[in-house]
Amino acid sequence: MEMDKNVIKHLISEYQSKAVSIVFQERPYRMEDNLNYVLVGLRRVGKSYLMFQQIRHLLDKGHSKDEILYFNFEDDRIASLATEDLDSIKVCYEEMFDCKPIFFLDEIQIVDHWEKFARRLADQGYRVYVTGSNAKMLSSEIATTLGGRYLIQNVYPYSFQEYLITQGIDTTDKNLMYRYRTEIVRAYDTYFRFGGLPEIVQVTDKRAWLSSLYQKIFFGDLIARHQVRNDFALRILIRKLAESLKQPTSFTRLANVVSSSGKKISTDTVIDYLEYLKESWLTFSVENICAKLAEKVANKKYYFMDNGILNLFLVDPLTSLLENQVAIQLRRLYGEDVYFYYHGIEVDFYVLDVQLAVQVCYNLNDGDIRKREVCSLIKMSKQIEVKKMLIITRDEEGTLVEEGREIEIVPVWKWLC
């Protein structure tokens, strides 16, 4: 049964008024005006607000309010929306306005076969922006359907610089580190523990908000969407990934750990669950750049897309949160060009494109720990090309030279700035 056209028209008008008037924080994302985009990322990461930012940009460029066709598919008033209703949105708009619309389709993956509608719009020459929480929007089937007509824009939680702006700190100040040092360190402690999802800034009980968000991701993006029957095993798997965050973990080991908790699970099922976690943007993985293909795929390090969600699972969180935050920032800066290095010695991260080696160490006061971290970097530089070496700490800073190679020691909050 098709939706009432009057309802659709009412929503088009309501959404349009909201989209052109909403207040948002400007984020450092830039999109070409003549291209179509799919915006993907974790729930509550700010994809919709990035749409509103693009709407404001287009209005500033001279486009009219009437050209904006924003539609939110998570609205409970259109829970019954079906595939055939997608074209009704276009038809209703054309009955209301005498101009060519620019489509902003928010969380459209809720509607089955949405990608065929999106492709048809692109083929007809419309400009389209699409958001979705599920990275399955990037699957090979959908990529084939969209046929190169859309660019993928990954949306991440706030960077620390963006978070500082929410705290009233001017990140463009050339004397940032000197004028705001105390405020920066204080702000970082909250950002470190509770992450960078935009809404968390205004929340008083941050842990409760994060716990509620995680439950939505778990039951909505994982259990319901993928029809997972063994929800207990999936919970154990997520907790195990959090606990073993700093170490490479194989599919077989994960299957054994989960099975030992009382719920038998196969290696194949673990592989499926890990893919679901990636599709929900809850986690991402890093491969060993020195490993053979089979080991690259089967023995990875896993990280969480937001520190706040990771912190829900940790009892002694400091070292894991630090490494996870470095992983997020490297992912934000370099995409999937980030690896770890294990070949006799282990180095936490290696960015292939810029030949950057990074060790993460919460505290270097212990002489043995300092020696271990430095030696690993030096040994790695003898086995693979390394242009720059960093040790990222919680608070320590300095530079040292070992065997003619310079290693920079930098506190994480300064590195993030």
Strands (E) located in 198-239: none
- Dihedral of CA atoms 229, 230, 236, 240 in degrees, nearest 10, equals -80
Task: Tell me which amino acid residue 86 is.
Answer: L
Helix or strand holding residue 288 (H, E)? strand 283-288
Percent of the chain at pLDDT > 90 equals: 79
Residue 112 — very low, low, confident or very high, per pLDDT cuts 50/70/90? Answer: confident
Do the first three CATH levels of 5-154 and 325-417 match, i.e. the same topology?
Answer: no
Tens-digit pLDDT profile for residues 306-323: 999 999 999 999 999 999
Tell me what the mean pLDDT of segment 252-274 comes to. Answer: 94
Average pLDDT, the chain: 93
**pLDDT at site 142:** 78
Name the CATH code of domain 5-154 (choices 3.40.50, 3.90.550, 2.40.420, 2.60.40): 3.40.50
| Domain range list for the chain | 5-154, 325-417
**pLDDT at site 176:** 85
Strands (E) located in 73-158: 102-106, 127-132, 150-154
Tens-digit pLDDT profile for residues 363-395: 998 889 999 999 999 999 999 999 999 999 999
Tens-digit pLDDT profile for residues 341-370: 999 899 999 999 999 999 999 999 888 999
Which DSSP category does 360 fall into? E
DSSP H helical segments within 22-113, as ranges?
A: 47-60, 85-96
Q: Cα–Cα distance between 382 and 34 in angstroms, integer?
A: 47
Which DSSP category does 341 fall into? E
Provide the whole-model pTM: 0.93
Place of tokens 């040092």: 181
HSE of 246 in the Cβ direction (CA atoms, 13 Å)? Answer: 14
**CATH top class, domain 325-417:** alpha beta
Q: Which two tokens stand for residue 146?
A: 């969209």
**pLDDT at site 147:** 79
Tell me what the mean pLDDT of segment 395-414 comes to. Answer: 95
Tell me what the mean pLDDT of segment 251-258 comes to. Answer: 95
